[in-house]
Amino acid sequence: MRLRTQLNLAFTTLLVVILTVTGFVTYSLIMDMLIDKEETQLKQKGEILIDILNREYGSIRSVNEFQEFLQSQDGELILYNRTEETVLFSTMSVDNTRQFYEKGYFNNYSDELWDGTSQKYVTARIVRQPNNSGTELILLTPIRDLQAVQSSFFNRLLIVFLIGGALAILLSYFLTNRLVKPLTMLKNELKKVEKRRFDDLERVNATGEIKEVEQSLFDMANELKNYMQSQQVFFQNASHELKTPLMTIQGYAEGIKEGVFEGKERDQGLETMVEEINRLKKIINEIIWLAKLESEELPYEREWIESKTLLNEVHNRMLPLAEKEGIHFGVKQVKEFRLYVDHEKFLQAVLNIAVNAIRHADSKVEVSFKDSQIVIEDDGNGIPKDLIPYIFNRFVKGKGGETGLGLAIARTIIEQSQGSIKVEQSSLGGARFVIELVGTKN
């Protein structure tokens, strides 16, 4: 069922339930109120009547005159003598009066509703002064009269409910429409993402939670687009990187086979082939490692390590290469801290950056650990400005580069440690790589 129909149905059901309950409660309350009011009115009327009776007929001069007066009054009434337990006068039918008598209403002062032969009556009883006269005036109103008032009130209530309900349902329809419209539009945008038509995506006007979903959808689409583009670039670059050494190997192998290269040239060719095969092996191994890192096939096992330990390891591993290249490799610990990382992998990331620094430095490389920051800088030529935004992408390399995977691997590991890496111009003249970590302890 469509969301719009569901919402409208839910709202209409709720409205009908509320109106029914309200109607039912009001209907029953109204009757109680009408009975109360009728009783009060009967009492007031009765008191006036008693007053007139007391004044005009203080001493009963003529029974006929007295009864004529009572007969001339509107509504039903009974004159009852308590001491003698007799009905002196009644406008009610004899059957009704008898039934009241039999049901003991005359002696029961708590019953306000008297059950007659065909219907109930609301009653009010007023004692005629002086009390010892024992005469009591009982006024009665048939409940049917009150039921008529109740029905007419209820009919009006029903009309108000029907009009109000119809308006509310109409309003709910417009509101749900407003709510559901952006969702329908979002669904269409999602379909575009599904078909990878990223350039056709359009922003949807929405508010609140739907706006958040819309934002997430667009972030997700962008992420997916970038990922797909980077995958495409990766395959292009990877095939290019693999093709070049393969072509060299193929050239030499065919040349040697056909006897084009002989003697010294043949040896040279074989040496180049071995070098290229090693390069291919390195590229393939790095690609596999990177793929494993990203697919989480290699579990990233974090532990707490001392910055001093890591710094010593970097120093010890890099010293031979630095000496060989004639580079001064300086390390300094500004402030000690502890890192929560996968020890082996994180060391690999720092080494990848350090190897680059030594390779591109003129005379020195400096590594410094401070707070949650690791800085590796050199005095080489630095990274060309136009390469900086892509330098951490796979197979991106500059002058004197090798496979262009070292920094991509480093970034993947650092991001898995909830850290970030950036590159900038060093005051030493070359590149300055800054690793920023979260979750470190002093």
Ligand X SMILES: Nc1ncnc2c1ncn2[C@@H]1O[C@H](COP(=O)(O)OP(=O)(O)OP(=O)(O)O)[C@@H](O)[C@H]1O
The residue of the chain with the least Cβ separation from Mg ion equals: 406
**Least CB distance to ligand X at residue 375 (A):** 12
Specify whether the CB–CB gap between 423 and 438 falls below 8 A. Answer: no
- For ligand X, the closer of residues 256 and 351 by Cβ is 351
Q: Which does 46 bind (CB under 5 to 8 A by kind): ligand X, Mg ion, none?
A: none
- CA–CA distance, 204 with 251 (Å, rounded to integer): 57
**Least CB distance to ligand X at residue 310 (A):** 19
**Least CB distance to ligand X at residue 389 (A):** 12
- CA–CA distance, 189 with 196 (Å, rounded to integer): 10
Q: Which does 142 bind (CB under 5 to 8 A by kind): Mg ion, ligand X, none?
A: none
Q: What's the Cα-to-Cα distance from 267 to each of 248, 263, 276, rounded to whole Å?
A: 15, 7, 14
Q: Which does 269 bind (CB under 5 to 8 A by kind): ligand X, Mg ion, none?
A: none
Specify whether the CB–CB gap between 370 and 354 falls below 8 A. Answer: no
Q: Which does 417 bind (CB under 5 to 8 A by kind): Mg ion, ligand X, none?
A: none
- For ligand X, the closer of residues 125 and 432 by Cβ is 432
Binding to Mg ion by residue 248, rule CB under 5 A?
A: no
**Least CB distance to ligand X at residue 365 (A):** 8
Q: Which does 145 bind (CB under 5 to 8 A by kind): ligand X, Mg ion, none?
A: none
Q: Which does 380 bind (CB under 5 to 8 A by kind): Mg ion, ligand X, none?
A: ligand X
Specify whether the CB–CB gap between 270 and 256 falls below 8 A. Answer: yes
- CA–CA distance, 404 with 410 (Å, rounded to integer): 11
- For ligand X, the closer of residues 337 and 392 by Cβ is 392
- For ligand X, the closer of residues 202 and 275 by Cβ is 275
- For Mg ion, the closer of residues 176 and 403 by Cβ is 403
Q: Which does 382 bind (CB under 5 to 8 A by kind): Mg ion, ligand X, none?
A: ligand X
Q: Using the rule CB under 5 A, give the single segment among 35-43, 315-323, 348-356, 431-439 that binds Mg ion.
A: 348-356
DSSP labels for 292-335?
HHHHT-S----EEEEHHHHHHHHHHHHHHHHHHHT-EEEEEESS
- For Mg ion, the closer of residues 201 and 351 by Cβ is 351
Count the neighbouring beta carbons within 10 Å of the beta carbon of residue 42. Answer: 23
**Least CB distance to ligand X at residue 233 (A):** 14
- For ligand X, the closer of residues 214 and 241 by Cβ is 241
**Least CB distance to ligand X at residue 181 (A):** 48
Binding to Mg ion by residue 406, rule CB under 5 A?
A: yes
Specify whether the CB–CB gap between 305 and 409 falls below 8 A. Answer: no
Q: Is residue 50 left, alpha or beta, with left meaning phi > 0 and alpha meaning psi from -120 to 50?
A: alpha
- Torsion 90-94-95-98 (CA) sign: positive
Q: Using the rule CB under 5 A, give the single segment among 119-127, 161-169, 283-291, 350-358 that binds Mg ion.
A: 350-358
**Could you check whether the bond before residue 182 is cis, i.e. omega within 30 degrees of 0?**
no
Q: Which does 404 bind (CB under 5 to 8 A by kind): ligand X, Mg ion, none?
A: ligand X
Specify whether the CB–CB gap between 345 and 326 falls below 8 A. Answer: no
- CA–CA distance, 316 with 332 (Å, rounded to integer): 13
- CA–CA distance, 355 with 318 (Å, rounded to integer): 7
What phi and psi, each to the nearest 5 degrees, are found at residue 376? -125, 115
**Least CB distance to ligand X at residue 434 (A):** 12
What phi and psi, each to the nearest 5 degrees, are found at residue 214? -60, -45
- CA–CA distance, 280 with 247 (Å, rounded to integer): 11
**Least CB distance to ligand X at residue 431 (A):** 4
- Which residue of 8, 96, 97, 356 would you call a contact of Mg ion, by CB under 5 A? 356
**Least CB distance to ligand X at residue 308 (A):** 24
The residue of the chain with the least Cβ separation from ligand X equals: 401
Contact positions vs ligand X (CB under 6 A): 286, 352, 356-357, 360, 378, 380, 382-383, 391, 396-399, 401-408, 430-431
Q: What's the Cα-to-Cα distance from 172 to each of 14, 17, 136, rounded to whole Å?
A: 12, 16, 60
Q: List residues bridging with 435 in a β-sheet.
A: 374, 421
**Least CB distance to ligand X at residue 408 (A):** 6
- For ligand X, the closer of residues 338 and 432 by Cβ is 432
Q: Which does 401 bind (CB under 5 to 8 A by kind): Mg ion, ligand X, none?
A: ligand X
Task: Return residues touching Mg ion (CB under 5 A).
Answer: 356, 406
